[in-house]
Structure 1
Amino acid sequence: MQGLQERDHGLGPQGMRPGQPARAPLPQLRGTAADEPPLFPTVKAALRWAWQMEDATFCKSPQYGPPPPRRASTLDGLTVQERVAQAAWIRQTAERRLQPAELSLVLALFAEGPMRGAGVRAVVREVCLMARNRDLGREVARRHLDLGRANRRTLAGIADEFGVAPRTVERLAAEIGREIDGRIAGIERTLSHLFVSTGVAAQV
Protein backbone atom coordinates (compact mmCIF):
# COMPACT_ATOMS: atom_id res chain seq x y z
CA MET A 1 0.00 0.00 0.00
CA GLN A 2 1.54 3.25 -1.06
CA GLY A 3 1.52 6.51 0.86
CA LEU A 4 -1.20 8.97 0.02
CA GLN A 5 -0.27 11.44 -2.69
CA GLU A 6 -1.61 14.87 -3.52
CA ARG A 7 -5.02 14.75 -5.06
CA ASP A 8 -7.32 16.80 -7.21
CA HIS A 9 -10.20 17.44 -4.84
CA GLY A 10 -12.38 18.91 -7.56
CA LEU A 11 -11.85 22.44 -6.28
CA GLY A 12 -11.75 25.44 -8.54
CA PRO A 13 -10.17 28.87 -7.90
CA GLN A 14 -9.75 29.80 -4.24
CA GLY A 15 -10.62 26.19 -3.32
CA MET A 16 -14.27 26.44 -4.39
CA ARG A 17 -16.19 23.52 -5.78
CA PRO A 18 -17.83 23.82 -9.20
CA GLY A 19 -21.10 25.73 -9.03
CA GLN A 20 -20.21 27.66 -5.89
CA PRO A 21 -19.82 31.46 -6.09
CA ALA A 22 -16.26 32.73 -6.37
CA ARG A 23 -14.60 33.94 -3.20
CA ALA A 24 -12.30 36.90 -2.84
CA PRO A 25 -8.58 36.05 -2.83
CA LEU A 26 -7.11 35.21 0.55
CA PRO A 27 -5.88 38.40 2.24
CA GLN A 28 -2.22 38.95 2.94
CA LEU A 29 -1.61 38.52 6.66
CA ARG A 30 1.13 39.64 8.96
CA GLY A 31 3.76 36.97 8.64
CA THR A 32 3.77 36.86 4.83
CA ALA A 33 6.16 39.76 4.43
CA ALA A 34 9.86 39.01 4.18
CA ASP A 35 10.55 40.54 7.62
CA GLU A 36 7.58 38.88 9.34
CA PRO A 37 8.03 35.31 10.60
CA PRO A 38 5.19 32.78 10.22
CA LEU A 39 3.26 31.64 13.27
CA PHE A 40 4.59 28.05 13.09
CA PRO A 41 7.78 26.43 11.76
CA THR A 42 5.91 23.60 10.02
CA VAL A 43 2.44 22.50 8.91
CA LYS A 44 2.56 19.72 11.52
CA ALA A 45 3.27 22.22 14.28
CA ALA A 46 0.27 24.30 13.20
CA LEU A 47 -2.03 21.26 13.17
CA ARG A 48 -0.79 20.04 16.56
CA TRP A 49 -1.38 23.47 18.13
CA ALA A 50 -4.82 23.87 16.56
CA TRP A 51 -6.12 20.59 17.93
CA GLN A 52 -4.59 21.29 21.33
CA MET A 53 -6.48 24.59 21.35
CA GLU A 54 -9.71 22.80 20.50
CA ASP A 55 -9.24 20.47 23.46
CA ALA A 56 -8.53 23.43 25.75
CA THR A 57 -11.32 25.79 24.64
CA PHE A 58 -14.08 23.54 23.27
CA CYS A 59 -14.65 26.19 20.64
CA LYS A 60 -16.52 25.51 17.41
CA SER A 61 -14.96 26.23 14.03
CA PRO A 62 -16.45 29.22 12.18
CA GLN A 63 -17.68 28.97 8.61
CA TYR A 64 -14.80 28.21 6.26
CA GLY A 65 -13.36 31.31 4.64
CA PRO A 66 -10.27 33.54 4.57
CA PRO A 67 -7.95 33.32 7.58
CA PRO A 68 -8.95 35.55 10.51
CA PRO A 69 -7.02 38.83 10.80
CA ARG A 70 -4.39 39.09 13.47
CA ARG A 71 -2.35 41.96 14.82
CA ALA A 72 0.86 40.05 15.53
CA SER A 73 3.05 37.50 13.79
CA THR A 74 3.85 35.45 16.90
CA LEU A 75 1.57 33.42 19.15
CA ASP A 76 2.66 35.41 22.20
CA GLY A 77 1.39 38.57 20.53
CA LEU A 78 -2.11 37.22 19.84
CA THR A 79 -5.07 37.77 22.12
CA VAL A 80 -7.01 34.77 23.42
CA GLN A 81 -9.77 35.50 20.92
CA GLU A 82 -7.27 35.69 18.05
CA ARG A 83 -5.71 32.38 19.08
CA VAL A 84 -9.10 30.67 19.17
CA ALA A 85 -10.03 32.10 15.76
CA GLN A 86 -6.70 31.06 14.25
CA ALA A 87 -6.96 27.53 15.67
CA ALA A 88 -10.52 27.21 14.39
CA TRP A 89 -9.47 28.32 10.90
CA ILE A 90 -6.59 25.81 10.79
CA ARG A 91 -8.88 22.96 11.86
CA GLN A 92 -11.61 23.97 9.41
CA THR A 93 -9.06 24.20 6.58
CA ALA A 94 -7.81 20.68 7.31
CA GLU A 95 -11.36 19.33 7.50
CA ARG A 96 -12.22 20.96 4.17
CA ARG A 97 -9.11 20.09 2.18
CA LEU A 98 -8.05 16.67 3.41
CA GLN A 99 -9.49 13.31 2.46
CA PRO A 100 -11.25 11.38 5.28
CA ALA A 101 -8.30 8.99 5.72
CA GLU A 102 -5.89 11.93 5.94
CA LEU A 103 -8.05 13.74 8.47
CA SER A 104 -8.23 10.55 10.56
CA LEU A 105 -4.43 10.53 10.68
CA VAL A 106 -4.37 14.17 11.81
CA LEU A 107 -6.78 13.32 14.62
CA ALA A 108 -4.77 10.22 15.58
CA LEU A 109 -1.59 12.28 15.86
CA PHE A 110 -2.74 15.60 17.30
CA ALA A 111 -6.21 15.32 18.89
CA GLU A 112 -7.06 13.94 22.33
CA GLY A 113 -9.91 12.01 23.88
CA PRO A 114 -12.67 10.47 21.75
CA MET A 115 -11.56 12.32 18.62
CA ARG A 116 -8.10 10.81 18.84
CA GLY A 117 -9.55 7.39 19.58
CA ALA A 118 -11.70 7.51 16.44
CA GLY A 119 -8.72 8.64 14.37
CA VAL A 120 -6.47 5.90 15.72
CA ARG A 121 -9.07 3.22 15.01
CA ALA A 122 -9.53 4.41 11.43
CA VAL A 123 -5.81 4.56 10.68
CA VAL A 124 -5.03 1.23 12.37
CA ARG A 125 -7.89 -0.51 10.55
CA GLU A 126 -6.36 0.49 7.23
CA VAL A 127 -2.65 0.14 7.98
CA CYS A 128 -2.91 -3.27 9.65
CA LEU A 129 -3.70 -4.78 6.24
CA MET A 130 0.03 -4.57 5.53
CA ALA A 131 0.61 -7.45 7.99
CA ARG A 132 -0.32 -11.10 7.53
CA ASN A 133 -1.31 -11.15 11.18
CA ARG A 134 -3.85 -8.32 11.39
CA ASP A 135 -3.80 -8.21 15.19
CA LEU A 136 -0.03 -7.84 15.17
CA GLY A 137 -0.31 -5.13 12.52
CA ARG A 138 -2.82 -3.22 14.65
CA GLU A 139 -0.56 -3.24 17.71
CA VAL A 140 2.47 -2.11 15.73
CA ALA A 141 0.48 0.67 14.03
CA ARG A 142 -0.87 1.88 17.37
CA ARG A 143 2.66 1.96 18.72
CA HIS A 144 3.76 4.22 15.86
CA LEU A 145 0.87 6.61 16.51
CA ASP A 146 1.75 6.67 20.24
CA LEU A 147 5.19 8.20 19.60
CA GLY A 148 6.03 10.54 22.47
CA ARG A 149 3.33 9.16 24.78
CA ALA A 150 4.13 7.61 28.16
CA ASN A 151 2.11 4.45 27.51
CA ARG A 152 3.84 3.58 24.25
CA ARG A 153 4.53 -0.14 23.98
CA THR A 154 7.95 -1.60 23.21
CA LEU A 155 8.60 -3.74 20.17
CA ALA A 156 9.98 -6.45 22.44
CA GLY A 157 6.75 -6.48 24.45
CA ILE A 158 4.67 -6.83 21.27
CA ALA A 159 6.92 -9.65 20.04
CA ASP A 160 6.52 -11.50 23.35
CA GLU A 161 2.74 -11.11 23.31
CA PHE A 162 2.39 -12.57 19.81
CA GLY A 163 5.15 -15.15 20.16
CA VAL A 164 7.16 -13.94 17.17
CA ALA A 165 10.82 -13.05 16.73
CA PRO A 166 11.73 -9.47 17.67
CA ARG A 167 13.29 -9.03 14.23
CA THR A 168 9.92 -9.81 12.62
CA VAL A 169 8.23 -7.06 14.62
CA GLU A 170 11.09 -4.65 13.88
CA ARG A 171 10.72 -5.18 10.12
CA LEU A 172 6.94 -4.71 10.30
CA ALA A 173 7.36 -1.57 12.42
CA ALA A 174 9.75 -0.10 9.85
CA GLU A 175 7.34 -0.87 7.00
CA ILE A 176 4.31 0.57 8.80
CA GLY A 177 6.36 3.57 9.93
CA ARG A 178 7.29 4.39 6.32
CA GLU A 179 3.64 4.10 5.29
CA ILE A 180 2.37 6.44 8.00
CA ASP A 181 5.22 8.90 7.51
CA GLY A 182 4.46 8.97 3.79
CA ARG A 183 0.84 9.83 4.54
CA ILE A 184 1.94 12.63 6.87
CA ALA A 185 4.17 14.03 4.11
CA GLY A 186 1.17 13.96 1.74
CA ILE A 187 -0.90 15.95 4.25
CA GLU A 188 1.86 18.53 4.53
CA ARG A 189 2.03 18.89 0.75
CA THR A 190 -1.74 19.35 0.53
CA LEU A 191 -1.82 22.14 3.13
CA SER A 192 1.62 23.71 2.66
CA HIS A 193 0.87 26.26 -0.08
CA LEU A 194 -2.11 27.78 1.72
CA PHE A 195 -0.47 27.75 5.13
CA VAL A 196 2.73 29.31 3.78
CA SER A 197 0.96 31.95 1.69
CA THR A 198 -1.13 33.09 4.66
CA GLY A 199 1.75 33.25 7.13
CA VAL A 200 0.60 30.29 9.21
CA ALA A 201 3.58 28.00 8.53
CA ALA A 202 7.11 28.39 7.21
CA GLN A 203 8.25 27.13 3.84
CA VAL A 204 10.30 23.93 4.33
Structure 2
Amino acid sequence: MSDENPKSRRSAGAVRSEASHQAIIDAAKTLLSEKGYVGFSIDGVARLAGASKPTIYRWWANKAQLIAEVYEVESACAIHIPEDLEVSQRFSLMLSTLWELWHNTSCGVAFRSFIAESQNVKENMELLRDQFMARRFALPRQILATAVRRQELPADTDIELMLVITFGFSWFHLLTDNLDQTETIAPFIQHLFTAIPRKHQA
Protein backbone atom coordinates (compact mmCIF):
# COMPACT_ATOMS: atom_id res chain seq x y z
CA MET A 1 0.00 0.00 0.00
CA SER A 2 2.97 2.25 0.43
CA ASP A 3 5.68 2.20 -2.18
CA GLU A 4 9.29 2.93 -2.80
CA ASN A 5 10.02 4.98 -5.90
CA PRO A 6 9.16 2.81 -8.94
CA LYS A 7 12.21 4.25 -10.75
CA SER A 8 14.48 2.28 -8.42
CA ARG A 9 13.00 -0.99 -9.70
CA ARG A 10 13.39 -0.34 -13.43
CA SER A 11 15.18 -2.91 -15.50
CA ALA A 12 18.80 -2.59 -16.40
CA GLY A 13 19.80 -1.93 -19.97
CA ALA A 14 19.32 1.09 -22.17
CA VAL A 15 18.91 4.33 -20.24
CA ARG A 16 15.30 5.40 -20.21
CA SER A 17 14.19 8.76 -21.46
CA GLU A 18 12.13 10.27 -18.64
CA ALA A 19 9.89 12.03 -21.16
CA SER A 20 9.22 8.80 -23.05
CA HIS A 21 8.68 6.89 -19.83
CA GLN A 22 6.13 9.41 -18.58
CA ALA A 23 4.37 9.48 -21.95
CA ILE A 24 4.02 5.69 -21.90
CA ILE A 25 2.72 5.65 -18.32
CA ASP A 26 0.22 8.43 -19.13
CA ALA A 27 -0.92 6.61 -22.25
CA ALA A 28 -1.32 3.34 -20.37
CA LYS A 29 -3.34 5.09 -17.66
CA THR A 30 -5.59 6.72 -20.26
CA LEU A 31 -6.11 3.49 -22.16
CA LEU A 32 -7.00 1.59 -18.99
CA SER A 33 -9.49 4.27 -17.98
CA GLU A 34 -11.13 4.46 -21.40
CA LYS A 35 -10.91 0.88 -22.68
CA GLY A 36 -10.49 -1.24 -19.56
CA TYR A 37 -8.35 -4.35 -19.40
CA VAL A 38 -9.97 -6.01 -22.45
CA GLY A 39 -9.18 -3.01 -24.66
CA PHE A 40 -5.69 -2.50 -23.29
CA SER A 41 -2.81 -3.41 -25.60
CA ILE A 42 0.83 -2.51 -26.09
CA ASP A 43 -0.09 -1.45 -29.65
CA GLY A 44 -2.61 1.02 -28.28
CA VAL A 45 -0.20 2.37 -25.69
CA ALA A 46 2.52 2.80 -28.32
CA ARG A 47 0.20 4.74 -30.65
CA LEU A 48 -1.10 6.97 -27.88
CA ALA A 49 2.33 7.64 -26.41
CA GLY A 50 4.08 8.14 -29.74
CA ALA A 51 6.56 5.42 -28.73
CA SER A 52 7.74 2.27 -30.43
CA LYS A 53 6.69 -1.19 -29.29
CA PRO A 54 10.34 -2.33 -29.00
CA THR A 55 10.94 0.57 -26.60
CA ILE A 56 8.02 -0.49 -24.42
CA TYR A 57 9.03 -4.14 -24.44
CA ARG A 58 12.61 -3.21 -23.59
CA TRP A 59 11.36 -1.57 -20.39
CA TRP A 60 8.42 -3.88 -19.53
CA ALA A 61 8.40 -7.57 -20.41
CA ASN A 62 4.63 -7.65 -20.99
CA LYS A 63 1.50 -5.58 -20.55
CA ALA A 64 0.89 -6.88 -17.01
CA GLN A 65 4.18 -5.42 -15.83
CA LEU A 66 3.37 -2.09 -17.48
CA ILE A 67 -0.03 -2.11 -15.80
CA ALA A 68 1.64 -2.88 -12.46
CA GLU A 69 3.84 0.20 -12.80
CA VAL A 70 0.80 2.32 -13.69
CA TYR A 71 -0.69 1.21 -10.38
CA GLU A 72 2.47 1.99 -8.44
CA VAL A 73 2.93 5.42 -9.98
CA GLU A 74 -0.71 6.32 -9.35
CA SER A 75 -0.79 5.04 -5.77
CA ALA A 76 2.67 6.16 -4.64
CA CYS A 77 1.60 9.55 -3.28
CA ALA A 78 -2.09 8.89 -2.68
CA ILE A 79 -2.13 7.44 0.83
CA HIS A 80 -0.95 9.52 3.77
CA ILE A 81 -1.88 8.36 7.25
CA PRO A 82 -1.29 10.71 10.24
CA GLU A 83 0.92 9.12 12.87
CA ASP A 84 -0.88 10.67 15.86
CA LEU A 85 -4.03 8.56 15.45
CA GLU A 86 -4.75 5.33 17.30
CA VAL A 87 -3.82 2.21 15.38
CA SER A 88 -7.42 1.21 14.60
CA GLN A 89 -8.12 4.72 13.30
CA ARG A 90 -5.01 4.62 11.13
CA PHE A 91 -6.00 1.26 9.69
CA SER A 92 -9.56 2.42 9.04
CA LEU A 93 -8.35 5.55 7.26
CA MET A 94 -5.87 3.51 5.25
CA LEU A 95 -8.57 1.12 4.00
CA SER A 96 -11.04 3.91 3.26
CA THR A 97 -8.42 5.79 1.25
CA LEU A 98 -7.30 2.64 -0.56
CA TRP A 99 -10.85 1.65 -1.52
CA GLU A 100 -11.54 5.16 -2.78
CA LEU A 101 -8.36 5.00 -4.86
CA TRP A 102 -9.36 1.64 -6.33
CA HIS A 103 -12.94 2.77 -6.95
CA ASN A 104 -12.37 6.24 -8.43
CA THR A 105 -9.10 6.00 -10.35
CA SER A 106 -7.45 3.68 -12.87
CA CYS A 107 -5.71 1.96 -9.94
CA GLY A 108 -8.59 -0.45 -9.38
CA VAL A 109 -8.64 -1.52 -13.01
CA ALA A 110 -4.85 -1.77 -13.05
CA PHE A 111 -4.69 -3.90 -9.91
CA ARG A 112 -7.44 -6.29 -11.01
CA SER A 113 -5.80 -6.57 -14.42
CA PHE A 114 -2.40 -7.37 -12.98
CA ILE A 115 -3.87 -10.02 -10.68
CA ALA A 116 -5.77 -11.60 -13.60
CA GLU A 117 -2.79 -11.57 -15.95
CA SER A 118 -0.56 -13.07 -13.27
CA GLN A 119 -2.64 -16.22 -12.95
CA ASN A 120 -1.23 -17.71 -16.15
CA VAL A 121 2.25 -16.17 -16.36
CA LYS A 122 4.81 -17.48 -13.87
CA GLU A 123 7.07 -14.43 -14.20
CA ASN A 124 4.18 -12.10 -13.39
CA MET A 125 3.05 -14.22 -10.45
CA GLU A 126 6.55 -14.13 -8.99
CA LEU A 127 6.60 -10.36 -9.41
CA LEU A 128 3.15 -10.06 -7.80
CA ARG A 129 4.02 -12.32 -4.86
CA ASP A 130 7.64 -11.43 -4.15
CA GLN A 131 7.90 -7.73 -4.99
CA PHE A 132 4.59 -6.05 -5.73
CA MET A 133 2.76 -7.36 -2.67
CA ALA A 134 5.78 -6.79 -0.44
CA ARG A 135 5.48 -3.10 -1.26
CA ARG A 136 1.70 -3.17 -0.65
CA PHE A 137 2.37 -4.59 2.82
CA ALA A 138 4.95 -1.96 3.74
CA LEU A 139 2.65 0.78 5.10
CA PRO A 140 0.22 -1.42 7.07
CA ARG A 141 3.14 -3.42 8.48
CA GLN A 142 4.77 -0.18 9.64
CA ILE A 143 1.50 0.96 11.25
CA LEU A 144 1.13 -2.29 13.19
CA ALA A 145 4.79 -2.45 14.20
CA THR A 146 4.58 1.12 15.51
CA ALA A 147 1.46 0.20 17.49
CA VAL A 148 3.31 -2.72 19.09
CA ARG A 149 6.19 -0.43 20.06
CA ARG A 150 3.72 2.06 21.54
CA GLN A 151 2.05 -0.82 23.43
CA GLU A 152 -1.24 -0.15 21.66
CA LEU A 153 -1.08 -3.78 20.55
CA PRO A 154 0.24 -6.82 22.46
CA ALA A 155 3.89 -7.68 21.97
CA ASP A 156 2.95 -11.09 20.53
CA THR A 157 0.56 -9.67 17.91
CA ASP A 158 0.77 -11.71 14.71
CA ILE A 159 1.36 -8.79 12.35
CA GLU A 160 1.72 -10.93 9.24
CA LEU A 161 -1.60 -12.68 9.86
CA MET A 162 -3.31 -9.33 10.40
CA LEU A 163 -1.94 -8.20 7.03
CA VAL A 164 -3.22 -11.31 5.26
CA ILE A 165 -6.66 -10.94 6.86
CA THR A 166 -6.84 -7.27 5.88
CA PHE A 167 -5.79 -7.87 2.31
CA GLY A 168 -8.16 -10.82 1.97
CA PHE A 169 -11.05 -8.62 3.06
CA SER A 170 -10.04 -5.78 0.74
CA TRP A 171 -9.26 -7.99 -2.23
CA PHE A 172 -12.67 -9.67 -1.96
CA HIS A 173 -14.37 -6.31 -2.40
CA LEU A 174 -11.97 -5.26 -5.16
CA LEU A 175 -12.32 -8.44 -7.21
CA THR A 176 -16.11 -8.61 -6.82
CA ASP A 177 -16.47 -4.91 -7.69
CA ASN A 178 -18.08 -4.05 -4.35
CA LEU A 179 -15.85 -1.17 -3.31
CA ASP A 180 -18.89 1.03 -2.74
CA GLN A 181 -19.71 -1.09 0.35
CA THR A 182 -17.54 1.11 2.56
CA GLU A 183 -19.92 0.61 5.47
CA THR A 184 -18.33 -2.81 5.94
CA ILE A 185 -14.94 -1.29 6.83
CA ALA A 186 -15.88 -0.10 10.34
CA PRO A 187 -17.19 -3.46 11.63
CA PHE A 188 -14.25 -5.25 10.03
CA ILE A 189 -11.76 -2.96 11.79
CA GLN A 190 -13.61 -3.34 15.09
CA HIS A 191 -13.44 -7.12 14.85
CA LEU A 192 -9.81 -7.13 13.70
CA PHE A 193 -8.66 -5.06 16.65
CA THR A 194 -10.88 -6.86 19.15
CA ALA A 195 -9.90 -10.40 18.18
CA ILE A 196 -6.22 -9.63 17.60
CA PRO A 197 -4.40 -12.71 16.30
CA ARG A 198 -1.44 -13.76 18.44
CA LYS A 199 1.73 -15.60 17.52
CA HIS A 200 1.82 -19.25 18.57
CA GLN A 201 4.36 -19.91 21.25
CA ALA A 202 6.96 -22.57 20.43
TM over 0.5, yes or no? Answer: no
TM-score, L = length of structure 1: 0.29
Give the number of the structure with larger relative contact order, counting CA–CA contacts within 8 Å between residues 6 or more apart. 1
